[in-house]
């Protein structure tokens, strides 16, 4: 069955520390997409990244980087030199291409709450 696990419920770091948020997924399909979303205290979920299952290259966007490892079914997210504004709940999600049509939906992890303290 499809499943997304974010084992870290809460993480607290001091500003400027690096922090990695873990995401492990389960799927029987070879074609799928993985996502990360950020939910700041304001509540609105903000899309961060989409990665398809055929592209295992790591991605870097400013202080954010993502490490996709199919061998371990993981899609971890690292924030370098964290800032107070990074404080939010971060969600990992999985979308399976085989569910195209009637039953396709994103499968969500429970989120990791990150607190970056000054």
Partner 1 sequence: GAGVSQSPSNKVTEKGKDVELRCDPISGHTALYWYRQSLGQGLEFLIYFQGNSAPDKSGLPSDRFSAERTGGSVSTLTIQRTQQEDSAVYLCASSLGGPFGAEAFFGQGTRLTVV
Residue ranges in contact with partner 1 by CB under 8 A: 31-33, 35, 37, 42-47, 50, 52, 91, 95, 97, 100-106, 108-111
Please give the full DSSP string across 37-78, using - where no structure is assigned: EEE-TT---EEEEEEETT----EEETTEEEEEEGGGTEEEEE
Least distance in angstroms from the C-beta of 34 to partner 1: 8
* 17 versus 55: smaller Cβ distance to partner 1: 55
Q: How far apart are CA 56 and CA 105, in angstroms?
A: 22
Least distance in angstroms from the C-beta of 47 to partner 1: 5
* 80 versus 99: smaller Cβ distance to partner 1: 99
Q: Read off φ and ψ for residue 82, nearest 5 degrees.
A: -55, 155
Least distance in angstroms from the C-beta of 60 to partner 1: 19
* 71 versus 103: smaller Cβ distance to partner 1: 103
Sign of CA dihedral 64, 69, 75, 76: negative
Dig out the tokens for 106 from the structure: 């994103």
* 16 versus 70: smaller Cβ distance to partner 1: 70
Least distance in angstroms from the C-beta of 106 to partner 1: 6
């Amino acid at each position: 069955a499809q499943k997304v696990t974010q084992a870290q419920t809460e993480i607290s770091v001091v500003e400027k520390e690096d922090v990695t948020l873990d995401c492990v997924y389960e799927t029987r399909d070879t074609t799928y997409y993985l996502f990360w979303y950020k939910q700041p205290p304001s509540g609105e979920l903000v899309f961060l990244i989409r990665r398809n299952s055929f592209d295992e290259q790591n991605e870097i966007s400013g202080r954010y980087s993502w490490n996709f490892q199919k061998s371990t079914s993981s899609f971890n997210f690292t924030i370098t030199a964290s800032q107070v504004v990074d404080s939010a709940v971060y969600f990992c999600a999985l979308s399976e291409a085989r569910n195209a049509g009637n039953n396709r939906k994103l499968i969500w992890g429970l989120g990791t709450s990150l607190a970056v303290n000054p």
